[in-house]
A and B are shown apart, each in its own frame.
Chain A
């Protein structure tokens, strides 16, 4: 907002009467200032100095406000009416501010509750129970992570933006913008609240359908032979990234398991592949949709679960999930362990 607008705001705000009167007065004063500035510039003054001088010559905006008040509220009745209108405006102004604050708080609260209560439930159901959570809700997992990551930056930007708005925005526009913002946020709050309710409802409905957890199979502490290859499950309670799992298998002289047929897939069940959430040796991280085993070969045998592999840039790693196994799923990089395979019996593995 420039100096002229700021001056006009100060001069015209709270002038009694309809908006059209304030708009009219504003237009007239602005016209006066522009005439004065043009004349001063023509005399050789710089534009900024001319603006300052023109404003100074027009005088204290308080004088204009007081003068207009004496014109448009001369009678006792008018005085009472005007005072009542001002009181009502002030009252509604405070109420509007409080309402806006409540709306913002409820919008943030809805987003927080979505992140704190609902999204983790969806994550658990999807990644650990293995339920087919609707894609629209899965999308909020990424949104949730992003929001958490940038939450404080976003909050600072929100506060800073609001402060800048209060400082810069012309008072005539403030009320309209506040109203529009309030209505917009109210709609968003309602949508967010509906989302939370639907998500909670879906969560409970899905939880009711969840299959009982399967009984875990004891995991061997040494490699187990199948055909002429050897296999072992490595459990990591703290979690492990797919690339780290791949490196660990290689450091032991093997590789992340490559599944060539249904028999091999069934064998892995017998050594505990379905116990938890384990990395298998395939990925499409290098080229989306082009799944390759760790030796670079394509997936000739495939045993994807329904709806898998999931499209997207985040779920790029083959996983054995307790709820989906013996079917495969594509997931993110972190799991609770991995399966290694050796072409010949390894001499020793030191990573139990």
Chain B
């Protein structure tokens, strides 16, 4: 799938997944790949700037977990503001896909 298209929806994907439970970066990538049968597979490097952007905007909050001498993972949680933003983004996404579907239907 076109990476540019995915990039535009990254924040929606991230917030959707994190609204289920806290996840760390690799887990987000692996979950997306598994649950979409590999359709939504992107260069994971672009995930981290998105995570930092969402964290900076207060949508999510990261927290390192694990003992210092074991593997440490940064788990991200959705904040209250993030849940509100997710609702808006879902609404926008729904309108967008409907509109695009209508356009594509007419162009057939």
Contact = CB atoms under 8 A, between A and B. Distances in A.
Nearest to B42: A59
Contact of B48 (A36, A60, A64): A64
Report whether over half of chain B's contact residues are helix, strand or loop; otherwise say mixed: helix
Interface stretch (B13-21, B24-32, B85-93, B97-105): B24-32
Report whether over half of chain A's contact residues are helix, strand or loop; otherwise say mixed: helix
Contacts of A57: 43-44
A64 B25 contact: no
A31 B74 CA distance: 9
B108 interface: no
A306 interface: no
B44 A67 contact: no
A67 B50 contact: yes
Nearest to B49: A67
A58 interface: yes
A31 B44 contact: no
Interface in A95-126: none
Given A31-B26, A32-B25, A60 B43 contact: yes
A11 interface: yes
A49 to B, nearest CB: 18
Contacts of A28: 25, 48, 74
A202 interface: no
A47 interface: no
A52 to B, nearest CB: 15
Interface in B43-73: 43-46, 48-50, 52-53, 56, 71-73
Interface residues on A, range: 20 to 34
A29 interface: yes
B45 A61 contact: yes
A119 B62 CA distance: 65
A140 B72 CA distance: 55
A28 to B, nearest CB: 5
A64 B49 contact: yes
A70 interface: yes
A35 B26 contact: yes
Nearest to B54: A71
B74 to A, nearest CB: 5
* A-B interface, 4 closest residue pairs, ranked by CB to CB distance from nearest: A67-B49, A59-B43, A59-B45, A35-B26
30 contacts: A27-B72, A29-B45, A29-B48, A31-B25, A31-B26, A31-B72, A31-B73, A32-B25, A34-B71, A35-B26, A36-B26, A36-B44, A58-B43, A59-B43, A59-B45, A60-B43, A63-B43, A63-B45, A64-B45, A64-B46, A64-B48, A66-B49, A67-B48, A67-B49, A67-B50, A68-B49, A68-B52, A70-B53, A71-B53, A71-B56
